[in-house]
Homo-oligomer: A and B are copies of this chain.
Amino acid sequence: MFLYRCVFLIAAILFSASVAKAADPLPSWNDGPTKDAIEAFVTKVADKDGPDFVPRADRVAVFDNDGNLWAEKPVYFQLLFAIDRVKAMAPDHPEWKDKQPFKAAIEGDMKALAASGEKGLLELLAASHTGMSSAEFQKIAGEWLATAKHPRFKRGYTELVYQPMLELLSYLRDNGFTTYIVSGGGIEFVRNFSEPVYGIPPAQVVGSSIKTEYKLVDGEPKIMRLPEMNFIDDKAGKPVGINQHIGKRPIFASGNSDGDFEMLEWTTAGEGPRFGLIVHHTDADREYAYDRDSHVGRLANALDQAADRGWTVIDMKNDWNQIFPAAE
């Protein structure tokens, strides 16, 4: 009798916990086919008695970052960081006043900056992102992220993350998934905020990288950032980066541009249950509306092929009842 009542007490505790868990895990997602598809997939792969069960170790989910977990307009936030960094460094570089692309960056002339092309962009990145140690870069990037404001929304950049995607990341983790970022952005830039903002630790961030070198500086060991590209984690580079870092093929991939096409293809062409998810920016009022004609985050091929490949397309305007987290 005693044991019976004890078991009953424990059962009551467990039951109340399961009721609490049954609250909507995706409150910022409107009811409809997109939300249904996500929930049906997660439920079936986590159902250990079902035909589509996937062991926890194989529940790997990958997410692009720019335009997928946080906004990417007017241009990639990391580029805005590079520009601000060049402005801050300008007093020590008088020669930049008459030299592109630095002149354009200092004057905030985005048109001239764009005209400097890929070569100009790389010069800007080299000047702003290299020559210091990894730890020093983290400090510089962290200070910028803590203070800089977005020109339109007047909020810090790490506040311009998509609330529905934060909920999706948590929902996946609560169901035994390991969540990774697979970004075209710089791996050390994204790692600066991935854990506090997304709950994704540095080791679960895959990104573009520059070469680094281990060396003693005044007797102190440092990882120094060199002005040379190491890896570009975009397009066909994304499956390569995933294979290199994770060593497993994901079963869930989420992206928003043609730069994510190969990652979606690689993920969803595998055997067993697979899920491909595309964020389609359709909300000019609350965020932005763009796809095939955009320079940043161009989405054409992946959008055209989504239906044939069974990828789920998020209509931002209609599927999300909230875009960014509530301001604090």
* Chain A residues at the B interface, C-beta cutoff of 8 Å: 2, 5-6, 9, 57, 134, 178, 187-188, 191, 195, 201-205, 209, 212-215, 220-221, 223, 236-240, 243-248, 262, 265-266, 269
Chain B residue contacts of A265, Cβ below 8 A: 221
A244 touches B202 (CB 8 A): no
Which residue in B9, B57, B134, B221 is a CB contact (below 8 Å) of A6? Answer: B9
Taken together as a complex, chains A and B put the C-alpha atoms of A247 and B239 apart, in Å, by 20
A269/B221 contact (C-beta < 8 A), A213-B240, A236-B215, A240-B213 known: yes
Nearest residue (CB) in B for A6 is: B6
Taken together as a complex, chains A and B put the C-alpha atoms of A6 and B244 apart, in Å, by 51
Nearest residue (CB) in B for A180 is: B203
Taken together as a complex, chains A and B put the C-alpha atoms of A214 and B234 apart, in Å, by 12
Chain B residue contacts of A238, Cβ below 8 A: 214
Nearest residue (CB) in B for A194 is: B247
Which residue in B57, B223, B243 is a CB contact (below 8 Å) of A223? Answer: B243
Chain B residue contacts of A202, Cβ below 8 A: 246-248
Nearest residue (CB) in B for A1 is: B2
Taken together as a complex, chains A and B put the C-alpha atoms of A42 and B205 apart, in Å, by 27
A247 touches B191 (CB 8 A): yes
Nearest residue (CB) in B for A238 is: B214
Nearest residue (CB) in B for A216 is: B265
Which residue in B2, B209, B220, B240 is a CB contact (below 8 Å) of A2? Answer: B2
Taken together as a complex, chains A and B put the C-alpha atoms of A220 and B237 apart, in Å, by 17
Chain B residue contacts of A214, Cβ below 8 A: 236-240, 262, 266
B2 touches A245 (CB 8 A): no
Q: Known A-B contacts: A187-B244, A209-B244, A221-B266. Give 7 more (CB < 8 A).
A: A134-B243, A188-B247, A203-B247, A213-B240, A214-B238, A214-B240, A214-B262
Taken together as a complex, chains A and B put the C-alpha atoms of A187 and B244 apart, in Å, by 8
Taken together as a complex, chains A and B put the C-alpha atoms of A243 and B202 apart, in Å, by 10
Taken together as a complex, chains A and B put the C-alpha atoms of A214 and B235 apart, in Å, by 10
Which residue in B6, B201, B212, B243 is a CB contact (below 8 Å) of A243? Answer: B212
A240/B269 contact (C-beta < 8 A), A2-B5, A203-B248 known: no
Taken together as a complex, chains A and B put the C-alpha atoms of A262 and B238 apart, in Å, by 30
User: Within the complex, what minimum Cβ distance (angstroms) separates A204 from chain B?
Assistant: 8
Chain B residue contacts of A191, Cβ below 8 A: 247
Q: What are 26 contact pairs spanning A and B, CB under 8 A? A: A2-B2, A2-B5, A5-B6, A6-B9, A57-B195, A178-B203, A202-B247, A203-B203, A203-B204, A203-B245, A203-B246, A203-B247, A203-B248, A205-B247, A213-B240, A214-B238, A214-B239, A214-B262, A214-B266, A215-B236, A220-B269, A221-B239, A221-B265, A221-B269, A223-B239, A223-B243
